Amino acid sequence: MVPTVFWFIPIAGILALLFARILYVQMKKKDPGNERMQEIAGLVQEGAMAYLRQQYKVVAIVFLVTSIFFAIAAYSLNLMSRYTPFSFLTGGVFSALAGYVGMLAATHAASRVARAAQDSLNAGLQVALRGGAVLSFGVVGFALLDVSIWFYILNYFFQGDPQSKMLTITTIMLTFGMGASLQALFARVGGGIFTKAADMGADLVGKNDAGLAEDDPRNPAVIADNVGDNVGDVAGMGADLYESYAGAILAAAALFASSSQGLSLDTQTKYVLLPMIIGGLGVIFSIISLFIVKAKNSSGMKELVGSINNGIWLSSVLIAGATFVVTSQLGLQNWLGLSLSVTLGLLVGVVIGVWVNYQTSQDYQPTQRVAESAATSSATVITSGLELGMNSTSVPVIAVCIGMVGAFFCASGFSLSVSNIAQGLSGIAMAAVGMLANLGFVLATDAFGAIADNAGGNAEMAKLPGHVRQRTDMLDAVGNTTAATGKGFAIGSAALTAMALLASYVEEIKLALLRKGDINLVINNQEVPLAKANILDLVNYYQVHAMNPKFIVGAFIGAMAVLVFIGLTTGAVSKVAKKMVAEVRRQFSNPRILDGSESPEYQRCIQISTQGAQRAMIIPALLAVITPIITGVFLGVAGVMGLLLSAMTTGFGMAVFLANAGGAWDNAKKYIEEGHLGGKGSAAHKAAVIGDMVGDPCKDTSGPALNILIKLMSMVAIVTAGITILF
C-alpha cells in the first residue's frame, strides 16, 4: 500500500522519542543536589504540573466542543471530511504530550544542572542541553509519528479517484495542523501570561519596592516566576514549534499533492512524502550535532556560542546536502530546483538570525543605543526601543521576500510565471521545511537556556556558592545568544508556511465544492470542469483580486485582527500582573516575611497566575478561530483570502517588531547591569527596568503568539471552507 521509503518516517519518529527517553533517564540519574535544592525544584515542578493540568483541562473542553461542532458539520451536513474531528483532536493531543514530556524533563533538570555546574561548566552544559533535548526530540518525534500514522490510515482507507487521492489525504491532514495550532496558541498565550505576570509581580514589588535580588526566596512571587519560565519558555515554546514543524511539513505535502496533479499516483506519493522524509533525516542529523557540543571549564561565552553554532551549521549543511541526494534518488523531476529552494530557505533563516542577534544583543550598537537613551529618561528608552523594533523589520521582511521569490523561481522550473504556480509554491513550503528540519537540535539549544535560568534560581534560593550562579548565568546568556538563530528559523518559516497555507486554502475550497456536488465552474463565460480546475482558475472564479471590495475589506479586517490580538494579549498580561502586584504587596505587609523568619505563601501567587492565564487566554483564541469563519460567511472566499494575506503580512511585521523591541529592552537592561552607564541601581538602570517590563509581554506573549495566529487563522479557514462556500 505505501512505498517502502514511507517507513523511514515513523521509524525516525520512534528513534527521536527513544532518544528523548534515553536522555531523560540519563538526566534523572544525575545527582539532584541537596535537600534544599530538591525541595525548591519540587515546588517549581508541582506548580508547573498543576498549571499544565489546569490548562489542559480548559483546552480539552475547547477541543471537545470544537470536535462536536466539526462532527456535526462533517456527519450531518457534509461540510467537511469525516476524518476532520479526529484528526483535529490528535494534533492537539500529541502537541500537548510533547509539551508535557519536555516540561517534566526541564523541571527535573533544573536542580541537577545547578548541582553539575558546581563541579564544572561542561557538566552543567551537558545536563542542561540534554534536558532541553528531551523537549526538542519529543516535539519532533511526536510530530513525525502523528503525521505518519495519519498518512498510513488515510492512504489505507481511501476510496475514490486515485488522481485526487494525495490531494484529499493531505488536505485532511491539514486539520491535524489546526489542532496543533490551536493547542500552541493556548500554550503560548496561557504560558506567556503566566510567566510575564509572575515576572512583573516579582520585579515590580520584590526588586523595585523591597530591593530584593533576583530569585530571593523571601519574594512570594519567586516560585511562580520560576514556574512561569517552565510553562512559558519550555511547554509554550514546545507547543509553538510543534505547530511550526508539523504545519510546515503538512503545508508542503498539500502543495506537492497539488503540484504533482496529473503525474502517476506513485510519483505523487513520493512528492507528498518528501517533506516528511526531510524531517526524518533531520532527526538523525540533530542527534549527531548534539554530540559535537562540548565545553571546557575555562570556556568563555565565545567558545560556548561557537560550539553550539557549529552544531547548527553542521546540521543545516547536512540537511541542505541531503535534500539534493534524496530528491534526485527519488527520481523527482524538479529535484534541483526544490533542493535549491531548501538551501535558500536555510540561508534566509541564518540571515534573519544574524540580524536579530545584531539588533538585540548588548554586544552591538543598536541595543547599546537603547541603553544609552535610558540615561535620559524612561520615556526615551521606550521610544528608542519602539524605534529599533520598527526599523528592525526591514531585513527580515526583505530576506523573506527574496527567499519567497527565489524559492518560487527555483521550484517552478526557474521562472516566475504563475502558470506553474503550485510547483513554485511547493518550493516555498520546502524552504520552510528545510528551516525546521534540524529542530531537534535547534530547539534543544533554545530550551537549555530556560533550564539554565531555572538552575540559577535554584542555586540562588539554595544559597549555593557564587561560582555556580556565575556558570548558570553564563549558560543562560549562551542560550539567549544561540536562540537568535532558532528564532530566525522560526520567524522565517512562519511566513513561508503561512504563504503555503494560503494556497492550500484554495485547494480545499475546490474539494469542498466537489463534496457539495458541483461539477463546473463558469470563469469568464467559459465552463471549466471543477475536477480539473487549478489554483488560478479558482482565484479567477472567486475574483480574489486587488480590486474586489470583498478582498479589500477582508484585508482591512486582517490587519485589524492582528492589532486587536496584540491588544488583548498584552492587556491580559497587565491585568494578571496587577493582581500579582497586589498580592505580593499584601504579603510584604507582614514584616516576618521580609526579615526571612516566615516563609511566604508561594501557592497564592501561583494560583493567581494560573487562574488569570486560564481566563485571559480564551478571548484571543476565540478571536483567531471566529474571525475567519465570520469573514467567510459575510465576504466569501475573496474576503477570507484578503483576511489571511493581510494578517500574514501585518502579523509577520508586528511579530518581528515585538520580538526585537522586547529583546533590545531586555538586553539594554542587562548591558547596564553589567556595569555600563552607572550600572545596577542607577537612574539609567531604573529606566531600563521599565523598558524591560514593557518589552516582556511583547517578546514572550504577544510576539510569538502572532506567528501562531497567522497560521491558525489559515488552518481554521481551511477546515471550515465547506461553510464558506455555502454563503
Span 497-516, contacts to a copy of itself by CB under 8 A: 499, 502-503, 506
Determine if 415 is a binding residue for a copy of itself (CB under 8 A). Answer: no
Q: How far is the CB of 96 from a copy of itself (least distance, A)?
A: 29
Determine if 555 is a binding residue for a copy of itself (CB under 8 A). Answer: yes
| Joined grid coordinates for residue 33 | 543536589
DSSP letters spanning 291-352: HH----TT--HHHHHHHHHHHHHHHHHHHHHHHHHHHHHTT-TTHHHHHHHHHHHHHHHHHH
Q: Closer CB to a copy of itself, residue 650 or residue 707?
A: 650
Alpha carbons 468 and 461: distance in angstroms, whole number? 12
Among 529, 567, 596, 679, binds a copy of itself (CB under 8 A): 567
Q: How far is the CB of 160 from a copy of itself (least distance, A)?
A: 26
Determine if 522 is a binding residue for a copy of itself (CB under 8 A). Answer: no
Using the rule CB under 8 A, give the single segment among 98-106, 264-272, 297-305, 549-557 that binds a copy of itself: 549-557
Q: Closer CB to a copy of itself, residue 234 or residue 495?
A: 495
Among 377, 520, 607, 611, binds a copy of itself (CB under 8 A): 377
Among 37, 254, 573, 616, binds a copy of itself (CB under 8 A): 573
Of 137, 167, 248, the closest CA to residue 508 belongs to 167
Q: How far is the CB of 133 from a copy of itself (least distance, A)?
A: 34
Using the rule CB under 8 A, give the single segment among 71-79, 144-152, 434-442, 565-573 that binds a copy of itself: 565-573
Among 48, 167, 351, 386, binds a copy of itself (CB under 8 A): 386
Q: Are 447 and 237 in contact (CB under 8 A)?
A: yes
Determine if 60 is a binding residue for a copy of itself (CB under 8 A). Answer: no
Of 485, 567, 547, 464, the closest CA to residue 217 belongs to 464
Q: How far is the CB of 19 from a copy of itself (least distance, A)?
A: 38
Q: Closer CB to a copy of itself, residue 79 or residue 566?
A: 566
Q: Which residues in 422-446 are b (16+ Cβ under 10 Å) and which e?
A: bbbbbbbbbbbbbbbbbbbbbbbbb
Q: Are 356 and 663 in contact (CB under 8 A)?
A: yes
Determine if 34 is a binding residue for a copy of itself (CB under 8 A). Answer: no
Q: Are 424 and 412 in contact (CB under 8 A)?
A: yes
Number of residues that bind a copy of itself (CB under 8 A): 89
Q: How far is the CB of 206 from a copy of itself (least distance, A)?
A: 13
Q: Is the dihedral of CA 681, 685, 686, 689 positive or negative?
A: negative
Which DSSP symbol is given to 601? -
Positions 654 through 713 that interact with a copy of itself (CB under 8 A): 654, 657, 689-690, 693-694, 697
Of 229, 715, 190, the closest CA to residue 494 belongs to 715
Q: Are 635 and 554 in contact (CB under 8 A)?
A: yes
Of 96, 193, 176, the closest CA to residue 619 belongs to 193
Positions 392 through 411 that interact with a copy of itself (CB under 8 A): 392-394, 397-398, 400-401, 404-405, 408
Alpha carbons 423 and 128: distance in angstroms, whole number? 42
Q: How far is the CB of 93 from a copy of itself (least distance, A)?
A: 33
Among 545, 586, 592, 680, binds a copy of itself (CB under 8 A): 545
Displacement of CA 346 from its chain's centroid (Å)? 17
Among 564, 594, 633, 683, binds a copy of itself (CB under 8 A): 564
Among 14, 336, 531, 552, binds a copy of itself (CB under 8 A): 552
Determine if 120 is a binding residue for a copy of itself (CB under 8 A). Answer: no
Determine if 633 is a binding residue for a copy of itself (CB under 8 A). Answer: no
Using the rule CB under 8 A, give the single segment among 85-93, 248-256, 637-645, 713-721 that binds a copy of itself: 637-645
Site string for a copy of itself, 131-150 (x = CB under 8 A): --------------------
Q: How far is the CB of 657 from a copy of itself (least distance, A)?
A: 6
Q: How far is the CB of 190 from a copy of itself (least distance, A)?
A: 18
Positions 191 through 220 that interact with a copy of itself (CB under 8 A): 200, 204, 208
Using the rule CB under 8 A, give the single segment among 98-106, 159-167, 650-658, 704-712 that binds a copy of itself: 650-658
Alpha carbons 587 and 583: distance in angstroms, whole number? 6
Q: Are 68 and 251 in contact (CB under 8 A)?
A: no
Residue 40 CB contacts under 8 Å (≥ 6 apart), including other chains: 111, 217, 223, 457, 458, 461, 462
* 3-class secondary structure per residue, 384-447: HHHHHHHHCCHHHHHHHHHHHHHHHHHHCCCCCCHHHHHHHHHHHHHHHHHHHHCHHHHHHHHH
DSSP letters spanning 443-508: HHHHHHHHHHHHHHHHHHHTT--HHHHHHHHHHHHHHHHHHHHHHHHHHHHHHHHHHHHHHHHHHH
Q: How far is the CB of 523 from a copy of itself (least distance, A)?
A: 8
Q: How far is the CB of 221 from a copy of itself (least distance, A)?
A: 15
Determine if 577 is a binding residue for a copy of itself (CB under 8 A). Answer: yes
Alpha carbons 181 and 243: distance in angstroms, whole number? 5
C-alpha Rg value of the chain to the nearest Å: 25
Positions 426 through 455 that interact with a copy of itself (CB under 8 A): 428
Determine if 536 is a binding residue for a copy of itself (CB under 8 A). Answer: yes
| Joined grid coordinates for residue 487 | 528564532
Positions 148 through 167 that interact with a copy of itself (CB under 8 A): none
Determine if 478 is a binding residue for a copy of itself (CB under 8 A). Answer: no
Q: Closer CB to a copy of itself, residue 390 or residue 618?
A: 390
Q: How far is the CB of 340 from a copy of itself (least distance, A)?
A: 16
| Joined grid coordinates for residue 138 | 519529543
Using the rule CB under 8 A, give the single segment among 225-233, 292-300, 442-450, 645-653 that binds a copy of itself: 645-653
Alpha carbons 223 and 51: distance in angstroms, whole number? 13
